[in-house]
Amino acid sequence: MRPRFRAPPRPDSLNALTSQEMQIPVAQQHEPLPDLTGRTVVVTGTTSGLGLALSGALAGAGARVLMTVRDAERGKAAVEQVRAGLEGRGSAETVLLDLADLASVRTAAADVRERTGDQVDVLINNAAVSLGPHERTRDGFELQLGTNHLGPAALTWLLMPALRAAGNPGQPSRVVMTSSLGHRTGGLDLTDPHWDRRRYSPTLAYGASKLANLLFAAELDRLVRRTGDPVLSIAAHPGLTASELLNNSLTRGGTWRARLLVLPDRLLSQPVTDGIAPQLLAATGAVRGGDYVGPTGSFQTRGPAGPASRSATARNPELARKLWEFTAATTGVTPDPQPVSRPGPGGTG
């Protein structure tokens, strides 16, 4: 029998609307995974939704999966659920990580490097928040940019030595950034990244963070090609997938937009077991560095994974370079690889 996944319970009153009600089978809507025995995969945001299902699928294929969680208790429930579905191979363990806290990102990266002996084959940057009110991370960054881009970028840079060490030309390691159809919403204003001057728009701020994911993936791809590092940088998006994303937003006092989206989200979304297909393709399938993959049916909202299209802004190399510089200056984390040229700050998309 296939293992079944249920998101660990949240202390909120929205359970009637959440996919916690759904038993989520690990369906094989994606291509069968290769044997991942001996491979180490780090997945962020694994207490619910895509991250939980990804962890189950990857560990089920034999990988050692390091599941990052920001709450130890919820993490325990999630990892036990994944372990319960394993059939004698693969393993899962938790790593504490709060992407909205750079000190936690540094601690988690050091923890992963130590536990793995500096050998990480795949990093899937999956965790995110969406559509809440204007909040800030512990370091003072706008919450969506901080959690969805700045934290993951810092984590990626800090784990690059382990990714570089695990990869080889025949089997490069991989960094997967998880973006969204929403990356087309608005642009990325690096002159007001934390919405200090503009009236806050949760939708535009989410779109900016998901645009940043694509720009970061493109710049990482450009740089690893230049350095010759055995690392592929790939981006993926899950179309519309039933997860806890909107409910998590509502729990944090999400906006009326988030409330309006709950019902359409439930009606139109594909199951999480289908939604993970693009990230699995990016993490384990036949892709090239720089690729962007997503569902190929119904206006890219559902269906089999394949090539995805990105906005013209997401293909702007100058903006990608500026974002890289901005991210280094903002986080204080040294970029890896180091940028070759150093253009000035600022810029909009």
Ligand X SMILES: NC(=O)c1ccc[n+]([C@@H]2O[C@H](COP(=O)([O-])OP(=O)(O)OC[C@H]3O[C@@H](n4cnc5c(N)ncnc54)[C@H](OP(=O)(O)O)[C@@H]3O)[C@@H](O)[C@H]2O)c1
Known active-site residue 292:
no
Minimum Å gap between C-beta 107 and ligand X is: 13
Strands 91-96 and 302-307: unpaired
Using CB under 6 A as the binding rule, the residues of this chain from 249 to 288 that contact ligand X are 269
Site membership for ligand X, residue 320 (CB under 6 A)? no
Among 121, 219, 229, 244, binds ligand X (CB under 6 A): 244
Site membership for ligand X, residue 156 (CB under 6 A)? no
Site membership for ligand X, residue 178 (CB under 6 A)? yes
Site membership for ligand X, residue 248 (CB under 6 A)? yes
Site membership for ligand X, residue 321 (CB under 6 A)? no
Per-residue HEC secondary structure of the chain comes to: CCCEECCCCCCCCCHHHCHHHCCEECCCCCCCCCCCCCCEEEECCCCCHHHHHHHHHHHHCCCEEEEEECCHHHHHHHHHHHHHCCCCCCEEEEEECCCCCHHHHHHHHHHHHHHHCCCCCEEEECCCCCCCCCCECCCCCEHHHHHHHHHHHHHHHHHHHHHHHHCECCECEEEEEECCHHHHCCCCCCCCCCCCCCCCCHHHHHHHHHHHHHHHHHHHHHHHHHHCCCEEEEEECCCCECCCHHHHHHHCCCCHHHHHHHHHHHHHCECHHHHCHHHHHHHHCCCCCCCEEEEEECCCCEEEEEECCCCCHHHCHHHHHHHHHHHHHHHCCCCCCCCCCCCCCCCCC
- Closer CB to ligand X, residue 146 or residue 347? 146
Site membership for ligand X, residue 180 (CB under 6 A)? yes
Minimum Å gap between C-beta 48 and ligand X is: 4
- Closer CB to ligand X, residue 243 or residue 284? 243
Options 154-162, 242-250, 320-328, 335-343: segment touching ligand X (CB under 6 A): 242-250
Site membership for ligand X, residue 18 (CB under 6 A)? no
Site membership for ligand X, residue 235 (CB under 6 A)? no
Residue 24 φ then ψ, to 5°: -110, 100
Minimum Å gap between C-beta 37 and ligand X is: 26
Site membership for ligand X, residue 127 (CB under 6 A)? yes
Catalytic residue among 141, 157, 195, 206: 206
Site membership for ligand X, residue 204 (CB under 6 A)? no
Taking the mean position of all CA atoms in its chain, how far away is CA 91? 21
Among 70, 164, 321, 322, binds ligand X (CB under 6 A): 70
Among 63, 65, 100, 204, binds ligand X (CB under 6 A): 100
Options 48-56, 192-200, 219-227, 313-321: segment touching ligand X (CB under 6 A): 48-56
Options 31-39, 168-176, 215-223, 236-244: segment touching ligand X (CB under 6 A): 236-244
Q: Which residues are catalytic?
A: 206
Q: Which residues bind ligand X (CB under 6 A)?
A: 44-51, 70-71, 74, 97-100, 126-129, 147, 178, 180, 237-238, 240-241, 243-245, 248, 269
